[in-house]
A and B are shown apart, each in its own frame.
Chain A
Amino acid sequence: MSDRRVVVTGMGVLACNGIDVPSFWDAISQGRHGIRTITTLDTALHETSFAGQVPLDNLTLVIGDKKNARRKDRFVHLALRAAAEAMAMSGLDFKNWKNPFRVATIVGSGIGGLTTIEEEAKVLAARGPSRVSPFLVPKMIVDSAAGDISIMYGAKGPNYCITTACATGSHCIGAAFHHIRHGQCDVAITGGSESPITHLGLAGFNSMGALSRRNSSPETASRPFDRERDGFVIGEGAGILIIEELEHARARGATIHAEIIGYGCTGDAFHETQPDPTGAGGIACMRMALEDARLNPEAIGYINAHGTSTKYNDSGETKVIKQVFGDYARSLMISSTKSMTGHTLGAAGGIEAIVSVLALKNGILPPTINYSTPDPECDLDYIPNTARAVRTEYALSNNLGFGGHNASLIFKRFGD
């Protein structure tokens, strides 16, 4: 086991309830959501008319070169803006890397440039192949966020994208954690970004019955663990972290927000979209993270759950938590902040890592909002509706993706 420790020195976030870390944390810690009726599409023919949209139009999102903004999909603009906040927070002098090959960029997206794909598919159908934009491919591919971030910051170390649906962001952070711990780099820009609120995105998730259809009350639609939950609320956003080897951070006097101490990843090998009802993959994933962190289960004070507000996930995740933590599960404080952000798919792991870090740092555990009717299958403490001022040492963040991808990260409070 390596002696190299990995810490968080920067964070950047965009979500429907906050366009930077201060506004996001303010909303999360006070139980404020950002779920609204969709404003950028005509949803008349869709079964769901609401989502968690980042309240910034495309041009406002762009940093730097506004004239060439059209050459990047929205999910890349979200990633770049979050990366800019994270980099500024870290205080790293990216224009003068001692060795740029020691700086990694591992940023993912579940779907990538869905807006671009839809637009160019229309061009193809209407005007033929010769009119498809030469920018289609670089705009739509899921690795373009990682590529563009590395270009912006001159980062030449390990550079790739992981795509594991809703576990994407967590897997990216875990991979970056490993690279630093194993000595292959000292700094990593990592997390996830997603912009799936398009006609195809809405239609596709609705066709499989995954989305809430609570159109009469969008603000209460994302209700993880509640008995009346009827599906997730699709969201967009980005969560990017700067993580760094501890001594590298200390040597430059960086502010350290938390430490990453464990990572687990497994597969269900069960179904394209449903979790294994036995929970074997999720159980093994959390146990792997705990073993990696060298922690007993009872050390964990807070779990930021995957908690999507779907029937299968929430009851399944509850069952898995009980298996891993035994009787101690009743003492755990668990919440799903997807109740406030919606489900941001590939960005969720990045955004929720930031929530976990801030929860530890500030001693405030965010709530699961819209919790009003207990479900006998979900009978743990989900911090219903109001945040709790509790100082805890260790937080675990779960994210699970279609295809049976499981990821768990463990963070430790730093300092004092």
Chain B
Amino acid sequence: MDRKRIREEVIEILANKLHKLPPPPPSWETEGEDEEPFDYDAQVIKPEITDNHLDIAEVAMDLEDAFGVNFEEALPGDAGMESIGKVIDYIQARIQTAHAKTAKKEDD
């Protein structure tokens, strides 16, 4: 899954549950066409969008379900995943690691 698709889905999930985040554009193809695009990647999660630990736990579960990854040592908003962009990077890295392991098993 490429970063663009991961990004779209992460933003959809976060905007659905964290209502201080502006909703995503009706179509990702037209993002930013009519006005200055909102910089989702740079958006810091805590405390700007939320500092409610229940919110964070809930979106973490939704992201885990959507991408088949686990937030093991840290959750979105914690150190290393302060912004939405960093959450996307984390998920992309986890997916790539999982694919690499799968490919190696198939080779062995």
Contacts and interface: CB of A to CB of B under 8 A. Distances in A.
Find the residue from B53, B54, B57 having the highest chain A CB count within 10 A.
Answer: B54
A341 B64 CA distance: 45
A134 B57 contact: yes
B62 to A, nearest CB: 10
A68 interface: yes
A133 B19 contact: no
Contacts of B61: 130-131, 133-134
Interface string B40-66: 000000000000011001100100010
Contacts of A138: 54
A271 interface: no
Interface residues of A, number: 9
Interface residues of B, number: 7
Contact of A133 (B53, B58, B65): B58
A97 interface: no
Contact of A68 (B19, B53, B65): B19
A9 B31 CA distance: 54
Contacts of A67: 19
A270 interface: no
A134 B57 CA distance: 6
Nearest to A65: B19
Interface string A191-219: 00000000000000000000000000000
B19 A135 contact: no
Contacts of A134: 53-54, 57-58, 61
Contacts of B57: 134
A67 B21 CA distance: 13
Contacts of A133: 58, 61
B99 to A, nearest CB: 23
Interface string B17-47: 0010000000000000000000000000000
4 closest Cβ pairs, A-B complex: A134-B57, A134-B54, A67-B19, A134-B58
Interface of B: 19, 53-54, 57-58, 61, 65
16 contacts: A67-B19, A68-B19, A71-B54, A130-B61, A131-B61, A131-B65, A133-B58, A133-B61, A134-B53, A134-B54, A134-B57, A134-B58, A134-B61, A135-B54, A135-B58, A138-B54
